[in-house]
A and B are shown apart, each in its own frame.
Chain A
Amino acid sequence: GDSVTQMEGPVTLSEEAFLTINCTYTATGYPSLFWYVQYPGEGLQLLLKATKADDKGSNKGFEATYRKETTSFHLEKGSVQVSDSAVYFCALSSTTSGTYKYIFGTGTRLKVLA
């Protein structure tokens, strides 16, 4: 079945460092890909998404490109801030045989130090 694999955390960085969180997926068909962020004590909220190959999603300085050839959707940010400390989830929408499921990765905790 469809699946999402993302790098394990926690990831600890100093402020202004470069961030990469790896995400790869397995899917039949053509899923949409998402990054969600969860701040402490809150629900998830969409960070960015891409709906087809070579699309780049971007928001708040974060970027991710839908790479069909490598089945990846890595999250990047050029300069992280303390306020970016959160848990990041990679996800895909799986629409096969009339179903419409969402598959999430296990989450990567990011801690940014001042």
Chain B
Amino acid sequence: EAQVTQNPRYLITVTGKKLTVTCSQNMNHEYMSWYRQDPGLGLRQIYYSMNVEVTDKGDVPEGYKVSRKEKRNFPLILESPSPNQTSLYFCASSPLTGTGRDKETQYFGPGTRLLVL
């Protein structure tokens, strides 16, 4: 089954304790991205990657890191989490090439709910 998986789905942590949220896709998509969803603010893009070893900042990259060492994986790293990073996080992937309905369509993971105390 074609899908984007994220782990963990729920996480409670404390300020300053480094954490990683994993994201993996099995659709051979070039493009991967991380978003955070907050009430009243919609989805905001944190980082994205157009291919292996190519990453770029979205609109809210502060406090986050990413890496893209393999095409299928795109982990999100919070080196020193703070309470303002409490949010619902989504990973997504998308093909950049090809024709038809799939091109530029993002496929989202189920989300990771993070609480930073």
Interface residues of chain A, those whose CB is within 8 Å of chain B, are 32, 34, 36, 42-46, 49, 51, 89, 91, 93, 99-107
Task: Tell me, yes or no, whether B74 is within 8 Å of chain A by CB.
Answer: no
From residue B37, how far is it (CB to closest CB) to chain A in Å?
Answer: 8
Residues of A within 8 A of B105 (CB): 34, 46, 49
A101-B58, A103-B59 are known contacts; what are 11 more A-B pairs with Cβ within 8 Å? A36-B106, A43-B92, A43-B109, A44-B90, A44-B92, A91-B43, A101-B48, A102-B106, A104-B44, A105-B42, A107-B42
Query: Quick check: A44 and B42 within 8 Å, CB to CB?
Result: no
Q: How far is the CB of B89 from chain A (nearest CB, A)?
A: 11
Binding site for A on B (CB under 8 A): 4, 31, 33, 35, 40-45, 48, 50, 56, 58-59, 90, 92, 96, 101, 104-106, 108-111
Between-chain CB contacts (< 8 Å), 15 pairs: A32-B104, A34-B104, A36-B106, A42-B110, A43-B4, A43-B90, A44-B43, A49-B105, A100-B50, A101-B45, A101-B58, A104-B44, A104-B45, A106-B41, A107-B43
Asked if B96 and A43 make an inter-chain contact with CB atoms under 8 angstroms apart, the answer reads no
The complex places the Cα of A13 from the Cα of B95 at a distance, in Å, of: 36
